[in-house]
Structure 1
Amino acid sequence: MESGYSERLYNEDLAPAQERNWSTWSLFCTWMADVHSIGGYTFAAGLFFLGLTGWQVFLALICGITVVYFLMNLTSVAGQRYGIPYPVLARVSFGVFGANVPALIRAAVAIAWYGIQTWLASVAVVILALKIFPGLEPLARSSFLGLSYLGWICFLLLWAAQLFVLGRGMESVRRLVDWAGPAIYVAMLALAIWIFIQAGGSIDFNLGSKSLSFGGATLAFFTAIALVVNYFSTLLLNFTDFSRFAPSERMVRWGNFWGLPVNFILFSVIVVVVTAGSREIYGSAITDPVELVGRIPSFVALALGALTFAVATVGINIVANFVSPCYDLANAFPKHIDFKRGGIISAVLALVVMPWKLYSSPIAINYFLGGLGALLGPIFGIIVADYYLLRRGRLDVEGLYREGDDSPYWYRGGLNRRALWAFAIAAFVSLIVALVPALKVAAPFSWFIGAGIGGASYYALMRSAPAPLPEAE
């Protein structure tokens, strides 16, 4: 450990990245792994049922993912420039110990969704297992704690497989996403071709069934844009966990460009072809790709489809929901928790919450996960306002790992109370918007409201401080 660094703030996993071997291709594949999943499929398909016409939805998708692209560059470029993960970047604005607040909030969201995504992937494996081995049917009928015995077996297999990948470090994650992301394209294209043929080449792409007024259509259009941003709100905070391994800012921007606007739009086109085609074939649109794959009469196609969706969902799970809490928990106790131990703790917690029950409860999804999600916007606004508006992108990296007055990010006792006040103000408003039923029309915009209030409040509070801002050395 470097001289003067605090063991309460430093370990090798939190230190600035030394190996920078994540190329544009690796970052592009990381985004493919994030988007090409069961959750990503159902999200994109669901936007076509807001009542908008097909071209309006595509325009909203383009606008939404373009906003995400520019916002994503703000934090990911900052991470690449200094090679630091998300919780260490949060120390700049929240203080070296205060950063545990935004880090643990992000970890809680990630752990919950990690369990849910693992369970969703296991559902695809269950379907595949029953097709290959029909004799397993009795295991699918008996259950324990709300999950069938066969469901437990498949869930634990995927749970252990992800833990194995992460236990081998970030380089192992890179190797996985380098092929997991492209693999789903092969399956999706094959599924789209099969659907197109089965539909006789005639598909109605206008999936919306509502007739909206101009005002209603305008609201639905901007709601779709906001939902796209919300979908990526977790990685808007912690994509620095990946970009820190890129050798240049240019590679980060290009990786984000190919992985976000280009990849997301192409994937959405495939999704709408498959979803609209399923309505032509089965009489109603099927937005669950696992259910659709289960109806394919070819055993080989069904097996490959189910397996590919399962692997792709594992890919997004590691990228979006497993890497972050590993760093976030390590940041809380760096002397005792490293990246691998953080992964073990995250995996155990994701198992304890029984994600199949969490996912099936509207109250849990809307209030617990929805509430936590509403807290991500204020954190993003504070970090970006601090880094770009107050410090102009200049950081004292060594100060991020020191205690006391030697660190410009010590503030008072390691906490920047102005950041915590700004967060509390913005979080209060965004939680009300996200959770109060009377404001459900505005709920999709809670991230933007929280980010705007959080950034503005923090900037005002810091500018009113009697002491000058700590400057980079």
Structure 2
Amino acid sequence: MEKASQAIFTGTVSGASHRLYNEDLAPARERRWTTYSLLSMWMSDVHSIGTYTFAAGLFFLGLTGWEVLVAEIIGAFVVMYLANMTGVAGTKLGVPYPVLSRISFGVFGGNVPALIRGVIAIFWYGIQTYLSSVAVVAILLLIFPDMKSMMGTTFLGLSAPGWIGFLFLWALQFFIFNYGMEFIRKFDNFCGPVVYAMMLILIGWIAFKAGGKIDIGASPVKVSSGQAIVQFFSAISLVIAYFSTIILNVSDFTRFSPSVKTTKRGNFWGLPVNFTAFSLASVVITAGTITVFGKAITDPVLLIQRVDNPFFLIVGALVFIIATMGVNIVANLVSPAYDFANVAPKRINFRRGAMITSVLSVVVMPWQVYANPIAVNYFLGGLGAFLGPIFAIIIVDYYLIKHGKINVQDLYQEGADHAYWYTKGYHMKAFAAFLIGVVITVPLALLPAFSAVAAFSWPIGVLVTGVVYRVLMPNRSLVKSDAAVTDAH
């Protein structure tokens, strides 16, 4: 049982506006997500081809394996601390990220940060589906060699087997998602352990090929001691930025946690412990590829293809397909489903939000985006620069301005007599701070002149925006009623 100082909202919402409320956006009633459920959610988010490549790719900053590992551990602890901030708020209020953003941006203004997160998720959902479909195509070509003749036939830039693989995974993910959050919880519980089994097999295989001579003190890139120090802190910042999307919307999951203690335990096991273990495996395997192949191979699918065993190739590809579906559903489908539902709750529920996301993920032709480094770096990187300022405003407002005293009822109600109405549903001071933060973070993230500090754009955005918003806001809570108020202390 939670202490009074850690009150969790379990009431009902009365008098809610149809423009702000539906059952999916309402405070969670059923709280079945245990510590292991949250650990599994983080495993699904971490255990992906993208995270493996990211963790292994830090080698190319000029760091040794040990330095990469230490940077990743430090980064994971920082991410845990940040995720606890938004995650605990989600647990206490029982609300998803779009509703949480209403507290600081206004009941209608909350749509802006929600849609920014949603647009990023659409593109990454499509890209992750496409990357995973490459493994599907590899299996198809292995089983049906005659399909190689179809690779030259393309439509909208994707080959016929490519379309088959992409649409297969697209449909499979939607099928899983269509069963709701409880089924997603069970799917996540399955994904994490399966990936660890494959990682252990890869470690054993690479250790055997290397004759046990794996030196994680090696680095494929040589830099000076001064550069190494800068790169070390860059690696920490990159770890934080890598998780910046899920840090923002982790309340989509922790809202189903029964207690703050459960949320914090799940985040601890899922981030410092799990991410460190996965990163260690990635670093060891990548270091082994330097010994065996004379160069670092950071893509696990390419590494699996080096194994001269069709059965192992198929099993390995299937495991990473499962892993990618796990991270895609957790990081890139749940969030926009809520985000779109938040725009028009009367017409769009959780499942319809997911359907919109799925359809748009095909429309944006993610294989074209991924093949264009300019599109990836400038469009997605530019959108990512918006996340730090959003996070800063939500956290400063919740903890420093309102001190966690939130009227949950008012999050679903219109009118000037409600706490989060501000100016016709929009909080202009929040948007002013947001624009100031974006003016700074977007150039830092995108302009070549600032490439030396680009890795630090997220924390810089958080710091600048947080300070600006704190200066703009009075030191008092804006809660206008004591009804249905939760206390963060």
TM-score scaled by length of structure 2: 0.94
Q: Counterpart amino acid of 1:271?
A: S
User: Over residues 98-157 of structure 1, what are the superposed CA-to-partner deviations in whole Å (9 max), with x where a residue is unaligned?
Assistant: 001100000011110000000000011111121122222122232211111001001001
Query: Which secondary structure does the structure 2 equivalent of 1:406 belong to?
Result: coil
Cα distance in 2 for partners of 1:188, 1:123 equals 19
- Runs of 5+ unmatched residues, structure 1: none
User: Any conservation in 2 of the 1:183–1:308 contact (CA below 8 Å)?
Assistant: yes
Runs of 4+ in 1 over 4 A off after TM superposition: none
User: Any conservation in 2 of the 1:391–1:471 contact (CA below 8 Å)?
Assistant: no
User: Any conservation in 2 of the 1:279–1:285 contact (CA below 8 Å)?
Assistant: yes
1:469 corresponds to which of 478, 483, 488: 478
Cα distance in 2 for partners of 1:461, 1:335 equals 34
| Corresponding residue number in structure 1 for 2:159 | 148
| Corresponding residue number in structure 2 for 1:29 | 40
Q: Does 1:194 align with 2:205?
A: yes
| Corresponding residue number in structure 2 for 1:118 | 129
2:143 corresponds to which of 132, 137, 143: 132
Q: Counterpart amino acid of 1:469?
A: L
User: Over residues 148-188 of structure 1, what are the superposed CA-to-partner deviations in whole Å (9 max), with x where a residue is unaligned?
Assistant: 10010010010011111111111111111010111110111
Q: Counterpart amino acid of 2:479?
A: P
Cα distance in 1 for partners of 2:47, 2:283 equals 14
Equivalent residues in 2 for 1:152-167, closer than 5 Å: 152-167=163-178
Query: Which secondary structure does the structure 1 equivalent of 2:95 belong to?
Result: coil
Using the TM superposition, give the Cα deviation of residue 2 of structure 1 relative to its aligned residue in structure 2, in angstroms: 4.9
| Corresponding residue number in structure 1 for 2:276 | 265
Cα distance in 2 for partners of 1:136, 1:70 equals 49
**How many equivalent residue pairs?**
471
Change (3 A) 1:282 1:369: same
User: Any conservation in 2 of the 1:395–1:472 contact (CA below 8 Å)?
Assistant: no
| Corresponding residue number in structure 1 for 2:315 | 304
| Corresponding residue number in structure 2 for 1:405 | 416
Equivalent residues in 2 for 1:161-176, closer than 5 Å: 161-176=172-187
Cα distance in 2 for partners of 1:405, 1:299 equals 66
Q: Equivalent pairs: percent with the same residue?
A: 55
2:351 corresponds to which of 335, 340, 344: 340
Cα distance in 2 for partners of 1:27, 1:218 equals 34
Q: Does 1:104 align with 2:115?
A: yes
User: Over residues 184-207 of structure 1, what are the superposed CA-to-partner deviations in whole Å (9 max), with x where a residue is unaligned?
Assistant: 101111111111111111122234
Q: Does 1:385 align with 2:385?
A: no
Using the TM superposition, give the Cα deviation of residue 362 of structure 1 relative to its aligned residue in structure 2, in angstroms: 1.2
User: Over residues 325-349 of structure 1, what are the superposed CA-to-partner deviations in whole Å (9 max), with x where a residue is unaligned?
Assistant: 0000000111111000000100111
Query: Which secondary structure does the structure 1 equivalent of 2:67 belong to?
Result: helix
User: Any conservation in 2 of the 1:394–1:472 contact (CA below 8 Å)?
Assistant: no
Cα distance in 2 for partners of 1:108, 1:86 equals 14
Cα distance in 1 for partners of 2:222, 2:323 equals 36
| Corresponding residue number in structure 2 for 1:215 | 226
User: Over residues 253-300 of structure 1, what are the superposed CA-to-partner deviations in whole Å (9 max), with x where a residue is unaligned?
Assistant: 111111100111111111112112122222222111111111211222
Using the TM superposition, give the Cα deviation of residue 216 of structure 1 relative to its aligned residue in structure 2, in angstroms: 0.9
TM-score scaled by length of structure 1: 0.97
Using the TM superposition, give the Cα deviation of residue 310 of structure 1 relative to its aligned residue in structure 2, in angstroms: 0.6
| Corresponding residue number in structure 1 for 2:190 | 179
Equivalent residues in 2 for 1:243-322, closer than 5 Å: 243-322=254-333
Using the TM superposition, give the Cα deviation of residue 425 of structure 1 relative to its aligned residue in structure 2, in angstroms: 0.4
Q: Does 1:88 align with 2:99?
A: yes
Using the TM superposition, give the Cα deviation of residue 376 of structure 1 relative to its aligned residue in structure 2, in angstroms: 0.1
Using the TM superposition, give the Cα deviation of residue 419 of structure 1 relative to its aligned residue in structure 2, in angstroms: 0.3
Q: Counterpart amino acid of 2:313?
A: L
Q: RMSD over aligned Cα, in angstroms?
A: 1.3
Q: Counterpart amino acid of 2:461?
A: G
Query: Which secondary structure does the structure 1 equivalent of 2:416 belong to?
Result: helix
1:47 corresponds to which of 40, 58, 72: 58
1:330 corresponds to which of 321, 341, 344: 341
Q: Counterpart amino acid of 2:287?
A: A
- Runs of 5+ unmatched residues, structure 2: 1-11, 483-489
| Corresponding residue number in structure 2 for 1:422 | 433
| Corresponding residue number in structure 2 for 1:234 | 245
Cα distance in 2 for partners of 1:151, 1:328 equals 29
1:19 corresponds to which of 30, 35, 38: 30
Q: Counterpart amino acid of 2:103?
A: V
